[in-house]
Structures are given as structure tokens and as C-alpha cells.
Amino acid sequence: MRSFLEKMALAGAGMLLGSTGLQAQLQKDYPIKPVAFTQVKVNDNFWAPKIRTNASVTIPYTLEQCRKTGRIDNFLRAAGKLPGDKFTEYPFDDTDLYKIIEGASYGLQTQPNPALERYLDTLITIIGNAQEKDGYLYTFRTMKAAKPHDWIGSKRWEKEEDLSHELYNAGHLFEAAVAHYQATGKRTLLNIAIRNADLLVKDFGWGKEEKFPGHQIVETGLTRLYRVTGNKSYLDLAKFFLDVRGPGTKDSQEYNQAYKKVVDQHEAVGHAVRAAYMYTGMADVAALTGDGKYLSAIDDIWEDVVDKKLYITGGIGATGAGEAFGAAYELPNMSAYAETCAAIANVYWNNRMFLLHGDAKYIDVLERTLYNGLLSGVSISGDRFFYPNPLASMGQHQRSAWFGCACCISNMTRFLPSMPGYVYAQKDNDLYVNLFVGNAATIQLKAGKVGIVQQTNYPWNGKDDITINTAKPTAFTLKVRIPGWAENRPVPGNLYFEEDSAAATVPILLNGQPLHYAVEKGYAVIKRTWKKGDKVTLDLPMEVKKVLAAAPVKDDQYRFALERGPIMYCLEGPDNKDATVQNIVVAKDAAVTPVFQTNLLSGVMTLQMPGSSTSRQLHSDALINSQQTVTAIPYYSWANRGAAEMTVWIPFEAAAARPKPAPTIASKSKISASVKNQRMFMALNDQYEPKDSKDNSALYLHWWPAKGSSEWVQYDFDSAHTISHSKVYWYDDGPFGGCRIPTAWKLYYKQGSEWIPVKNTTPYTTEKDKYNVVSFEPVTTTALKLEVQLPADNSSGIHEWIVE
């Protein structure tokens, strides 16, 4: 593999995403180069508005949030301009400012904005003033707070492998510095980054600080800095940070991908964002050094992800416990983490894999992530965000204006302006068309300069006119990606499939005439001498597909997901009867009709189909079944109309659906509790039967991180009821989570303004994986309170609370 990389490496060709500034002459790099986003002018009706919203709304909004939340003050405190009497919540908050500067710089490369550029100059001056003389830049230590943050340690790098995030901050600084330099030609932030990188080279290495980054990103930051400066010590340090990771240190674990040497890892484990950033860094170092061992490892890891650990939306990271990959085929929907940062990292990684191998399967994953699990992370308005991106909801998930940990928000600001850089790639005289986006681009091939224009209404329509413009006849090969979804392969591998679907041939016209083409690595290969005005017309089939999951994915059994083109769909409450979707069943063979709705969610293609819904009734196990028209919307657009029920995977068997709750005493009650998060309240009376006490696919209320305290939940009835029984199903996510069954519990009923203990006739039990039933002498009351004594060392929670 080493010889392959060395043969294919391009001398003097760096993988810069921008267009200005000098570029280092490198001996090795990726065999294929991306076409810089600055050369691609997106002008379609899908991506262009989203990029404009990012520039006009999201970036100004997030910059203002950085000011309001004290992130800019952190730098002023470090510079001695403000007292070091307080700081923000996390020591990696510095990176939010870096990432927004990176995104704003990308925007400046395509749309000049003198006022924004001046503001960035001011911020960079503030950042520079916070840097210590030897290049160290980490506000949480330099501000010399009276009571330092617990995560930073007593000296530099002491807790780097754990929580300090000093190197994580540095990595995002390097990324921002290169972007700003390329956008403006100014070296102000670049010089700050170089001083910091030189300090890292001085302090880290074999025989020096032999520590790995607790959170990966510095590796790609260093390789990017190397591409601009040609300083090989930066590449060497990136390689060191990969090679030093592994067993033998106190913090070696799967969570941070340090349980083995990176070249000995062959499956995706641990924190999904850290992992995908690391795999991206391994790809960079493999390309720049020719080290085939890295490539062998990430090839195997990629196969592990697409075969066993990828959500149909392109999301990665199944569990909130460690924000991590789960076990093989562990892909829960309601509790899916699928962090926005992980989706962005997944795009970075898959793009690098394509640049190494030239195979369309990597772009298939990239596109799926881009249009679904990544784009869902930001609202249509540009100022509301998701951190996790679940595939089902009872309404407990809502977009937020800001997070204390704002990494996903600032990451989105830097990603969207660079999105046009994923449309094309080139190698010698091969021009790759990877994404179908309306745009105009100019690309320099070896044979000459080539203009290319795409005219399309993708993703709503599959037709794409690709026009070639050359000053003179020019011989080169156009490689047009044939998406896997167009050939009935939702993803590479066998994790998802379309039942009874035969492989289709995608028709291509050349100047209006049918073209017989060969396919290589997923690309239609069109080799010819091109002249001005030559037009290739691609007509991708846009039939609605019902996607099924492999049998080991238990959470998706007896369900299908709807796909049309690259877009995954979901059912959401506002579009369906009674604002309820968890109770909907749609037959496998139901006809689905696409209907474009201009005035819905800024214009989306909806899907409509016949279906049925079920409801529970009192005093009977029989369900009430009713017919209805079911409407699906693009997954990326959900939760733009307030909190609502949602599901991606639609039951085709009634057993997989959740019937609408019966009008019981509990379901009609108003809930209050000694927890602030009211989104959890609906768990208590949703009439969902959990599989066991740690069932994260079910809703639950919890008091974590409280321990040893007395807590309560309360039902206020719709009217006075006579009651004599109550059942509680405890939430307990042991042995790894923080909740256990309570030490004790007790019921009180309301009499006037007083709370009176019920006179129980059976004991209060605290057992896992079952209902704990208590009977008591009948009382007539308007409210019932449940008091819980939490264990001394753990918290507790409740799946369901029934009153009879």
C-alpha cells in the first residue's frame, strides 16, 4: 500500500480549500484533489439559500452569542484586560470563536463583507493579546483565575489526555488561521497559530511530552498548517500524536480510541466525534507520508461503520453514554445520539477516503450524511440547533437557541460555507462530478481550463444538465457519480436494503443522444475531446423507496424508512391526524405520492400515502383502528414548527406501533415534578411498555445528577377520582449509567391543601424490570404525589406511573 500511495501522490499539490496565499510544495498528498469551494459558485434553490442564511443569520448570531456568553471575555481576561474572576463553562469554549472565524473567513472568500472583516480583525487582536510569549494560547490557564477550572490541571498539558482540551483548542485555532489567511491574505491569525504550533513541536514528541490529545482535531489542524507553510515538523507532530496514542497511559480506553495503537484498530469505538476526527487525521497523514498502515486501519474501520454502525440518515454515534458508537447493530432511534459534530466529522472522513481511493461509495455516505443527519442540525431560520439528531421523538426533543457546550453550533457555521468544495474533484485530466448542485465552476486540469455548469432542481428532481465550456477542444475524462441509491443500494454494504428492487440503469444523454457508458468505481466514465457547449444530461430515478434494515438491527424490525433521491423522510405530528405519529402503520405495498409544497418549510417535497392509526381504550386490550392519509416530510426539516412527535422508521406491522394512550386518570393528569426539564414529564403517562428498566428507546423521567435526596412527581387529576392502586416502572441504567432503583418511595393524596400518606395494604417494592404495584385503602382526591428517596451514590428515574 505504501508504494501505491507513493506512486499516486502528486508532487507539489496540496489539498487547500481556499484560493489565496502561497502554497507549500509538498512531495506527497492525496492522489485526487478537491476543487476548492471558492471555484464553485452555487446558485441553486436548495443549497444557495442555506449558505446565504448561514452568512446573514447564523454567523452574526453565533458571534453575538460568543459575546453574550463570555467567550470573548475569556480572551480579554487572559490578556489582563478584564479581571480573572470568572470564566465560561468549558475550557474548550475558545474553539467556538475559532470555528466561527473559520466559517466567516470562508464566507469572505465568496462574498466580500468589509464590516465583518474588520470585526474579525478586532477579534484576532484580542486573541493575539491573550497569547503568552512562547506561543501558549489557552485562556482558562492564562487568565490566572482565583479558583481555576477543575479540568485544566496545575501545569500545562497535565490533564491533556483527560479533560483540559489544550490541543483540541490548538487544532481549531490552526484550522481557523489557515482559512483566514486564505480569505484575506493577512497573516495575523496565521502567525498566532504558527507560534502556537512551534511551541507544540518544542514540547511534544518522543523523549519529551509523550501524550496524546484527549480530543482529536489537532492532527488535521497540523496537516493543514503543514500544507500552507511546508514546515515538515508540523506533519511529524501530527504523526506523533497518532502514534503515541495507545495502551500504557492512565487514560487509555475505548472512549478516546487509545485502547490500542491506531494502526491496530479495526472497528469504530468510543466517542464518535473524536473517532471520526482521528480517522480523518489518519487519512491526512497516510496521504502525506505514504504510510499504508494507517490506510489499512481506516479501511477496516470504515467497513465496520457502514456495515454495522451507520444510521440511515448518515448519523454516527448510537448512545449518549460517552456520545459514542454502540455495539454492532445497536442503532436505537428515540435515544439516538447522532451528534451534529459527528455528522460533520463523518463528511470530512468520507471525503478523505474518496480522495485516497476514488470510489463513489464514500461520496454515497457523504451525500447521505450531508442531506440528512448533518443538515438536520440547524433550523431553516438559521438560529436554532440540534446537538443530538434522534430518529424518533415523542415531542421531548426541541431545537435550542444555544447550548452550554456549543460545539455543534459553531461547527455548523464553519461547515456550510465550505459545502461547495465537495461538489467536484480532479486528478490529472479526470474531472469528478460528486454532488448534483446547481452551480458554475472553473477548474484547471492538466489539459487546460474547463468551465462546468450544472443546472438542476436536485434533490427534488433527478434531472441534471452538465454543460462543459472550454476555450478550445480539450481532451479529458468526465467521471459522473452514479449514486448508490439510484441503483437500489441505500448505503454501501448490507446494513440497509430495498426489498425486491432490481438494479437500475441510469440514462445519460450526450448532446441529446443516449450515451453508452462504462462504470468504474461507481462513476460513469465519459472520455472524449470536449468542446464548448457540450452537454451531459443525467436523469436520476426519483421513485420513492421503502428501505429496510438488516435483521440484527432490532430497533427497526417490522418497519421501513422512506427515501426519495438522497433525502430521507420522517412522519411529524403537525402533518398527521391528532398530531400523533407513533401509532401510525403503513402497509409495505402502500402507494406513495410525492407532492411538492411551496409554502411548507421553505418549500419541500412531501410524501403522501394511505395508512392507519391505533388507539388504546379503557377496560379493553382491543385497539381502535382508523384509516387516514399519512404525510411524510424530509427528515432534515423536522422540529421547525415546535416540539412534536416524529419517526423515521414507519411500522408496517401493528405490533411495531405505539397506540395512542387511552384516556386514563394518569394520561389526563397535569404533571409536575422536582426536575426542571418538563420535556421528561410526558414519559410518566405515555402508556409505553419498556423492554426493561434500562430501555433507552422508551421515554423516562430522571433526577440525575442528584444523589441521596428526596424527590417527587405529582399528578393533578382532571377531576376528583376514587383510587386504590398505583404502579411504577423504575428506570435503572446500571451498571454504567447514573440511575438505580430508589431506596424507598411513598404515595400521598391531596386532602384540601394538605398531603396525606395513603394507607397501603401491600408493601412498597423496588424491583427492576417490572411494575412495582402498591394497593391502598380507597381515597377520593384530585391529586396524587409520589415521593422518592434517591440512593446515596446514584440517582433514580421512572419509565411509567399508572394510577387506578
Query: What are the Cα distances from residue 142, in Å, to 87, 129, 154, 347, 469?
Result: 12, 11, 12, 35, 55
Q: Are 94 and 158 in contact (CB under 8 A)?
A: no
Kindly state the average pLDDT of the residues 367-387: 98
Question: Where does the pLDDT of residue 249 fall: very low under 50, low under 70, confident under 90, or very high at 90 and above?
Answer: low
Kindly state the average pLDDT of the residues 784-792: 97
**Cα–Cα distance measured from residue 638 to residue 579, given in angstroms and rounded to the nearest whole number:** 13
pLDDT tens sequence across 101-130: 999 999 998 889 999 999 999 999 999 999
Which pLDDT score, from 0 to 100, does residue 19 have? 37
pLDDT tens sequence across 271-300: 999 999 999 999 999 999 999 999 999 999
User: How is residue 169 annotated by DSSP?
Assistant: H
Element (DSSP H or E) covering residue 299: helix 292-308
**Cα–Cα distance measured from residue 26 to residue 33, given in angstroms and rounded to the nearest whole number:** 13
Residue whose C-alpha is closest to residue 512's, from 465, 458, 475: 465
Look at residue 250 and tell me whether its pLDDT is greater than 80.
Answer: no
Which pLDDT score, from 0 to 100, does residue 24 have? 59
* Half-sphere exposure of residue 166: CA atoms within 13 angstroms, side-chain side: 29
Place of cell 436523469: 539
Sign (positive or negative) of CA dihedral 389, 392, 397, 401: positive
pLDDT tens sequence across 672-705: 999 988 888 989 998 888 989 998 777 899 999 9
Place of cell 490548538: 170
All domains of the chain in start order, with CATH: 2-422 (1.50.10), 425-539 (2.60.420), 562-656 (no CATH), 670-803 (2.60.120.260)
Place of cell 411548507: 600
Which residues is 530 bridged to in the sheet? Answer: 474
Q: Which three cell numbers stand for residue 28?
A: 506527497
Q: Which three cell numbers stand for residue 738?
A: 447514573
Q: Which residues of 743-756 are buried (b: 16+ CB within 10 A; e: fewer)?
A: eebbbbbbeeeebe
Which pLDDT score, from 0 to 100, does residue 17 have? 38
Question: Where does the pLDDT of residue 501 fall: very low under 50, low under 70, confident under 90, or very high at 90 and above?
Answer: low
More confident call, 134 vs 662: 134
- In sequence order, the 6+-apart residues with CB closer than 8 A to the CB of 595 are 605, 606, 607, 608
pLDDT tens sequence across 5-15: 333 333 233 33
Kindly state the average pLDDT of the residues 392-404: 93
- In sequence order, the 6+-apart residues with CB closer than 8 A to the CB of 68 are none
Residues shown for the chain:
804
Element (DSSP H or E) covering residue 613: strand 604-617
Look at residue 786 and tell me whether its pLDDT is greater than 80.
Answer: yes
Which pLDDT score, from 0 to 100, does residue 12 have? 30
Sign (positive or negative) of CA dihedral 619, 620, 621, 624: negative
**Cα–Cα distance measured from residue 734 to residue 602, given in angstroms and rounded to the nearest whole number:** 44
Residue spans of alpha helices (H) in 649-702: none
Q: Are 572 and 581 in contact (CB under 8 A)?
A: yes
Which pLDDT score, from 0 to 100, does residue 26 have? 66
Question: Where does the pLDDT of residue 186 fall: very low under 50, low under 70, confident under 90, or very high at 90 and above?
Answer: very high
Kindly state the average pLDDT of the residues 555-580: 97
Neighbour-count burial of 777, counting CB atoms closer than 10 A to its CB (0-12 exposed, 13-18 middle, 19+ buried): exposed
Q: Cβ atoms within 10 A of the Cβ of 7, count?
A: 9
Q: In what order do the strands lie in the sheet with 40-42?
A: 40-42, 439-445, 448-456, 463-469, 534-539, 508-510, 513-514
**Cα–Cα distance measured from residue 619 to residue 252, given in angstroms and rounded to the nearest whole number:** 55
Question: Where does the pLDDT of residue 481 fall: very low under 50, low under 70, confident under 90, or very high at 90 and above?
Answer: very high
Residue whose C-alpha is closest to residue 542's, from 600, 466, 463: 463
**HEC profile of 392-426:** EEECCCCCECCCCCCHHHHHHHHHHHHHHHHCEEE
**Cα–Cα distance measured from residue 52 to residue 48, given in angstroms and rounded to the nearest whole number:** 6
- In sequence order, the 6+-apart residues with CB closer than 8 A to the CB of 665 are 715, 717, 721, 723, 803, 804
**Cα–Cα distance measured from residue 225 to residue 229, given in angstroms and rounded to the nearest whole number:** 6
pTM: 0.92
Kindly state the average pLDDT of the residues 727-747: 94
What's the alpha-carbon Rg for the chain, to the nearest Å? 28
Q: Which one-letter amino acid corresponds to residue 229? A: T
Listed in order, strand segments (DSSP E) in 683-743 are 701-702, 710-731
Place of cell 394510577: 803
Which pLDDT score, from 0 to 100, does residue 618 have? 79
- In sequence order, the 6+-apart residues with CB closer than 8 A to the CB of 64 are none
Helices then strands, counting H and E runs in the chain, come out as 16, 31
Angle of CA points 216, 220, 221, to nearest 5° = 100
Which pLDDT score, from 0 to 100, does residue 363 have? 98
Which pLDDT score, from 0 to 100, does residue 689 have? 85
Which pLDDT score, from 0 to 100, does residue 502 have? 66
Kindly state the average pLDDT of the residues 421-438: 98
Which pLDDT score, from 0 to 100, does residue 737 have? 85
Q: Which three cell numbers stand for residue 672?
A: 409536575
* Half-sphere exposure of residue 15: CA atoms within 13 angstroms, side-chain side: 28
Q: Cβ atoms within 10 A of the Cβ of 437, count?
A: 24
User: How is residue 38 annotated by DSSP?
Assistant: G
Mean pLDDT over all residues of the chain? 93
Question: Where does the pLDDT of residue 320 fall: very low under 50, low under 70, confident under 90, or very high at 90 and above?
Answer: confident
Which pLDDT score, from 0 to 100, does residue 2 have? 35
